[in-house]
Chain A
Amino acid sequence: MPEENQDVQVPSVIATQAALDAIGKLLRTHKGVAFFQSGGCCDNSAPMCFDEGEMIVGNVDRLVGTVGGCPYYIDFRQYETYRTSQIILDVEDGEADGFSLPAGIEGKHFVTRTKICAKNACNV
């Protein structure tokens, strides 16, 4: 059953130390990066990481939070689906999906894990 957790605001995003380190590495060579939660065919839920400004942030984007000072967006249509999700940004071995930047170094990519909070209990 969903875990009761009154302190977590959802939807929201946090990053593991590995993800924060990877963002730190990226920011040494990139002015800024932004994350976009994907969906759909093939790479589906991959967190896509681009140079800030590469993807034009539009009316459809909701800011879920920031990780390592970088914005994490989700499409408003997906936002409702994620209403009880806390996204945990992490890093694993393997090439980045789609057009995403790797997680700091080649051969590493960003992944999402999820914590589901009880309906209503987490909604602030």
Chain B
Amino acid sequence: MQVNKTYVPPGMPGSIVELKEKYGNYIGGKFVPPVKGQYMDDISPTTGKPFTKVAKSTPEDVELALDAAHAAKEKWGEILPLSERAKVLNKIADAIEANEEMLSVAESWENGKPVRETLNVDVPMAVDHFRYFAGAARMLEGTITEVDKDTLAYNMHEPLGVVGQIVPFNFPLMLASWKIAPALAAGNCTVVKPASPTPWSLLKMMEVIGDVVPPGVINVVTGPGAEIGKALATSPRIAKIAFTGETVTGRLIMQYAAQNIIPATLELGGKSPNVFFEDVLDKDDDFMRKAVEGFVLYAFNKGEVCTCPSRALVQKSIYDKFIAKALDSIKKIKQGNPLDTNTMIGPQVSAQQIQKISSYVEIGKQEGAQLLCGGQKAQMGGDMAGGFFFQPTVFKGENNMRIFQEEIFGPVIAVTTFEDEQDAIRIANDTLYGLGAGVWSRDGTRAYRIARAIKAGRVWVNCYHSYPAGATFGGYKISGVGRETHRMALEHYTQVKSMLVSYSEKPMGFF
């Protein structure tokens, strides 16, 4: 990990990130101005001020992107050998890796996430997902069914064609890569809509990888969700839609997909329980410190994570001791300029998020939850005075409170206690969501029992917030439909053809 370095903001003298005054859409292998010529401000959450402009596109721009994708799909998905397709994915990975530091700074400045995270997680993970799917693409094998001695069914995967992908603001590059890599690996072309607060870093990524991707294979259109997201999701020219975001939009996306009769995969967030059993404090050792860190990981990416461990369940017998250690660690969180490698928590992505987080803190107080630390906007000085900073916050309360039931998407954790295993399972599963969960115990068989009993798509045992390409990611319950990462994701980007061949020369005998 790099230490003691503060990067210069993009576009400022001495910055490693070049910044243009405005950015068009990336369509057909080049940047093109939006049809209606409108642009919108891109705001830095650190200063609260605009730092560049991106296209405020209209449905006409989505059509252009779809034209480009359709023009490219046959060559990309049907003519190019798999080995060549994989080579392109590897070259994308290489190009991102060669620009890792630049893209990390860009991502940090636009989103507010600490650069130590973008340098060590977001961008390296984006690279790794392209590499993983470059390999996975070549492992996509069909099956052969022997119907009878002379009749074989060849079951094979074929690309869908052109897909639409809507990316959230919390991991603009990493989650774009989670979506783009399997889509391309499976032989599809894509039209991507980045989130409204964070459209720019993906455009910077396109600058870097544009030379190695055939024109039209990846297209990026920026603009408001109500116009661009809707135009893309309702288009009869897409064969699949993938979306990460909140539940109502997810439902709307599925409704649009139903009208088109196409598949939709959705990742809609969670309220992930992080369960700490009493034995974590049995010894004062590395494991104990790892568990305490596991609690504090709610502040990772300022809590703007779908799997944020935002509900901590601590066994009653150790609650006082454990929470004291956690609060001590939270006190040491360094908040400030995300471009400083020592910063642990940066600003929230937008003023809107600050409003929502503040509103939940108010709800928590009204519900009678006990505020153990934080609870307010954090005021910074100088250039950051207008930034969207919020103090790391801890509430103690009951699981039926709204702060325990709803995703706050900020650095706010709600803590409660449990008596025994059954109680832990009951509370952990008392939620509408089922995306992530954490279980901490020195007793492996207990950890296994609990992990199996929790209804969630990803359960971390004695770890948290790790997202390797080779593990599936997706939700139970209302947290979504489908899986991302892992080669299983390729199934969501392919359709299956069963070619049934008769090697017999005899007629059937019916007519």
Interface residues of A (CB under 8 A from B): 1-3, 36-46, 48, 50, 54-56, 75, 77-78, 81-82, 84-85, 92-102, 109, 111-116
Contacts and interface: CB of A to CB of B under 8 A. Distances in A.
B355 interface: yes
Interface string B148-177: 000000000000000000001110000000
A85 B363 CA distance: 9
Which 9 A-B pairs rank lowest in CB-CB distance, beginning with the nearest? A41-B269, A40-B269, A116-B366, A98-B249, A38-B248, A40-B246, A40-B247, A81-B405, A40-B268
Interface stretch (B3-11, B71-79, B406-414, B493-501): B406-414
Given A38-B248, A43-B249, A112-B359, 9 more contacts: A39-B246, A39-B432, A40-B245, A44-B409, A95-B196, A96-B225, A97-B225, A98-B246, A100-B226
B267 to A, nearest CB: 7
B57 to A, nearest CB: 14
A48 B247 CA distance: 10
Contacts of A102: 226
A54 B168 CA distance: 22
Contacts of B390: none
Interface string B265-299: 00111100000000000000000000000000000
Contact of A39 (B168, B195, B247, B362): B247
5 contacts: A38-B247, A43-B352, A56-B255, A85-B363, A98-B248
Interface in B350-365: 350-352, 355-356, 359-360, 362-363
A82 B304 CA distance: 23
A40 B250 contact: yes
A105 to B, nearest CB: 13
Given A44-B246, A109-B352, A2 B367 contact: yes
Contact of B432 (A78, A112, A116): A78
Contacts of B196: 95
Contacts of B355: 92, 94, 111
B202 interface: no
Given A38-B248, A42-B195, A98-B245, A77 B478 contact: yes
B402 interface: yes
B252 interface: yes
B435 to A, nearest CB: 8
Contacts of A115: 366
Interface string B243-268: 01111111110010000000000011
A66 to B, nearest CB: 18
A40 B352 contact: no
B252 A45 contact: no
Contacts, number: 145
A92 B40 CA distance: 18
Interface of B: 168-170, 195-196, 224-226, 229-230, 244-252, 255, 267-270, 304, 306, 350-352, 355-356, 359-360, 362-363, 366-368, 400, 402, 405-409, 432-433, 478-479
A60 to B, nearest CB: 9
B224 A96 contact: yes
Contacts of B368: 1-2
Contacts of A112: 359
B352 A2 contact: no
A109 B356 CA distance: 12
Contacts of B363: 85, 114, 116
B225 A41 contact: no
B169 A42 contact: yes
Contacts of A38: 246-249
Contacts of A93: 351
B359 A113 contact: yes
Given A40-B269, A40-B433, A43-B249, A99 B226 contact: yes
A111 B359 contact: yes
A16 B367 CA distance: 22
A41 B252 contact: no
B407 A99 contact: no
